Structure 1
Amino acid sequence: IGLASVQELTGTKGNQPIDGVVLLGAGMLIFGGIATAATHRYRLISLLMLSVVGLFVALTFARFSAPDLALTQLSVEVVTMILLMLALFFLPQKTPTESSPMRNVRDILLAGALGLVVASLNYAVMTRETLSISNFFVENSKPGGGGYNVVNVILVDFRGFDTLGEITVLAIAGLAIFKLLNRLRLFMPHSDGEGRAWSPDRYPAILTSISMTLLPLALLVSAFIFLRGHNQPGGGFIAGLITAVALILLYMARGVEWAQERLNFPFQPVAVVGVAIATLTGLGSWLLGYPFLTSSFGYFSLPLIGTFELATALLFDLGVYLAVVGATLMILANLGKVTTPHRPVTDPKTSDTHDTPNEKESH
């Protein structure tokens, strides 16, 4: 309706110079999206094409000077790919044909028309002068929140209540998925969809050998990203995803049994404690007569270290970090352990005699 009332599509700001790098990225995004839809029946190939879209979205953020968003997108992309790969293991390799050629043509025309309308609306908005509150955050990030990283200050200070709600939802989702998968066990097939037997090497030798070396390095990077987040690109959310991926690497490289023997603690309390820390940080401001989640910061000096800043937002960010680590590992680790080792080969006659009908079908 709003687009129909526009007399001229191009606004007063006009067009910016064409950037060849941006055009290349847009072309790859379009290619990845079309390839994902075109190969949707071949799930693994479609997943690879989807990862191309995620990668170029991250590169687009980096191109437009949004390193925080780029780091977040890359971290989320890795976790999402691991999650989808785990889910694909239990699904058929191909999706059955669901639509007729006529329905495909109809869907293409509808999608193209809707895409054209949305693109035109975006173009009309971006070529016009609009009121924005971004200047408020830029001007008050340091004096009001104590940090130069505007994105992080918005997340843990100006809009901390939104972030608290998001990590609460994430923790609840992780607990729900854990409850659903806790006692679920699926038997691993003896062969793939084309009848080929699985490799006798259960875990990749190279990944197994380097996993223990990568773990402390990844945790060190995670700590660095977490501590610098208030003034440089980073923060608790990105650091939490890096830690989760580093720990999931152990499950992938050495197996669930090996990893659980060494990571002998449940992940559910980690997510709950994270939400509790973030909530208590907000409640602490009430004791001093300030609104919920009002942050405070100050500068201190120590010999050999110099002047440094301490902010209550760091505690809130710690809660975000723990909630992300706990929820992510609850989902990925429990999804990865729903399979059991291969069943032992038994005599068919013995199996037919003692197996129930449901057990025969599971073979």
Structure 2
Amino acid sequence: ENGSLQRYLFVLATSAVAAGAAAVLVTSGAPGGWLAAGGAGATTPADGTNLAVWLLLAGAALATVLLRRRRLAAVIVLGVAGLMVSLTFARLSAPDLALTQLSVEVVTMILLLLALYFLPQQGRDTAKAGQRLRDGLVAGLAGLGAGGLAWAVLQRPPDSISEFYLANSLSQGGGRNVVNVILVDFRGFDTLGEITVLAIAAAAIYSLLYNVRVAYTDADIAHRAWSPDPHPLVLTVTVRALLPVALMVSIYLLLRGHNQPGGGFIAALAASVALTSQYLAHGARWTRQRLTLRYRPLIAAGLLVALLTGLGSWLFGAPFLTSSFGHFHVPLIGDVELATALLFDVGIYLTVIGAVTLMLARLGRVSGIERPEDPGREPVGGRTWSF
């Protein structure tokens, strides 16, 4: 280990290409035989809309590479690539995946913007021509390999368990949104493990950044003076007004997720973006004074709710995480469905909000969002601000 991300990516991509090539050559005993083993499968015609989205996706990916020295521009076009992936999911009738991808993309953009604080606007390309050729060759092979794998999977005769989920989602899980029912019912134990891993990752990042100190100066890393207005009025007013709206949308997505696109994970990401935006717009000190939410207890509460929901089924002699549901008539409202899966979804919601916001808020504080309003009140380099 030498701390070079470029070398780590090279080793990872090369290993993946080698493993994929070995599988293709060994499985069928002939080059390319595995790819042809599936025969001709059904294909979906590519219309103009699909082609336009895919061309934009490819163009955004290429632009990210070409603009690698201009970091902010590269982040923007990378976000365009993520948006095109979301549109592809929506085009293929997968709204839950589209919403999830879109939410994750926004969180990723916030993370990258926080990381850009430590870097100059323009980067230097120190790689030699031979290194660039090597990296391009490995990247091309990895891309072709991933594309070939996807094509082979799509060409193989369908042998899927999806028909079981489609047939039993409503009758056994009480929900019409098959994706959500799978996450909180049929594969609830997997989801419990996933949010536990997310909580552990958040705790690890919090611990790693807890004692990180950033020296305050009156200029950035490129020797440019800080803006005299660290929190622009338009941004602060807009973000503050959007907070209650975003939280209401988040609750709406949570409650509708069992029967319509949404669910605890998507709703939690929407709420996390709304909360983290307050740190970006107002600074860490201002936000902490007004937003007294403690994220670590929130993570613990979410895990506890999810675990207790699973343990509750034992009281009725059912296996762990067995869900139940029923329909009740409420005056002035009508028929209302109540499902224990909603409690499990609430646990997911709380855990994801706590974990994502804890990580982003901690990184934001390290990134210098909490710098003094008046840079002149401290000598340049004369004080280290602890976050």
Q: Which residue of 2 aligns with 1:344?
A: 377
Q: Distance in 1 between matches of 2:216 and 2:293?
A: 26
Distance 1:257 1:45, change over 3 A: same
Q: Which residue of 1 aligns with 2:335?
A: 307
Matches within 5 A, 1:88-99: 88-99=116-127
Distance 1:310 1:254, change over 3 A: same
Secondary structure in 2 matching 1:89 = helix
Q: Which residue of 1 aligns with 2:49?
A: 21
Distance 1:192 1:7, change over 3 A: closer
Q: Which residue of 2 aligns with 1:251?
A: 279
State whether structure 2 residue 356 is matched by structure 1 residue 323: no
1:93–1:193: 8 Å Cα contact kept in structure 2? no
Structure 2 unaligned residues grouped into runs of 5+ = 1-23
State whether structure 2 residue 257 is matched by structure 1 residue 229: yes
Superposed CA offset, 1:244-292 (max 9, x none):
1111222222221111111123210001110111011111112221111
Q: TM-score, normalised by structure 1?
A: 0.90
Superposed CA offset, 1:176-222 (max 9, x none):
21222223231343223443322211101112223332111111111
State whether structure 2 residue 329 is matched by structure 1 residue 296: no
Equivalent of residue 48 in structure 1, options 68, 76, 79:
76
Q: Distance in 1 between matches of 2:284 and 2:221?
A: 24
Distance 1:344 1:134, change over 3 A: same
Q: Which residue of 1 aligns with 2:95?
A: 67
Secondary structure in 2 matching 1:332 = helix
Q: Which residue of 2 aligns with 1:140?
A: 168
Deviation at 1:343, TM superposition (A): 6.1
1:9–1:120: 8 Å Cα contact kept in structure 2? no
Q: Which residue of 1 aligns with 2:5?
A: none
Instruction: Name the Cα RMSD after superposition.
Output: 2.2
Amino acid at match of 1:322: L
Identity of aligned residues (%): 52
Amino acid at match of 2:319: P
Secondary structure in 1 matching 2:338 = strand
Distance 1:115 1:182, change over 3 A: closer
State whether structure 2 residue 115 is matched by structure 1 residue 82: no
Superposed CA offset, 1:18-64 (max 9, x none):
21211111111211222222322332222112111111011111111
Q: Distance in 2 between matches of 1:14 and 1:94?
A: 47
Matches within 5 A, 1:118-197: 118-197=146-225
Q: Distance in 2 between matches of 1:316 and 1:19?
A: 40
Q: Distance in 2 between matches of 1:322 and 1:192?
A: 36
Secondary structure in 1 matching 2:302 = helix
Q: Which residue of 2 aligns with 1:208?
A: 236
Question: Matched residue pairs, number?
Answer: 351
Q: Distance in 1 between matches of 2:210 and 2:139?
A: 40
Q: Which runs of 4+ in 1 moved over 4 A?
A: 6-10
Amino acid at match of 1:154: I
State whether structure 2 residue 63 is matched by structure 1 residue 35: yes
Q: Distance in 1 between matches of 2:352 and 2:80?
A: 24
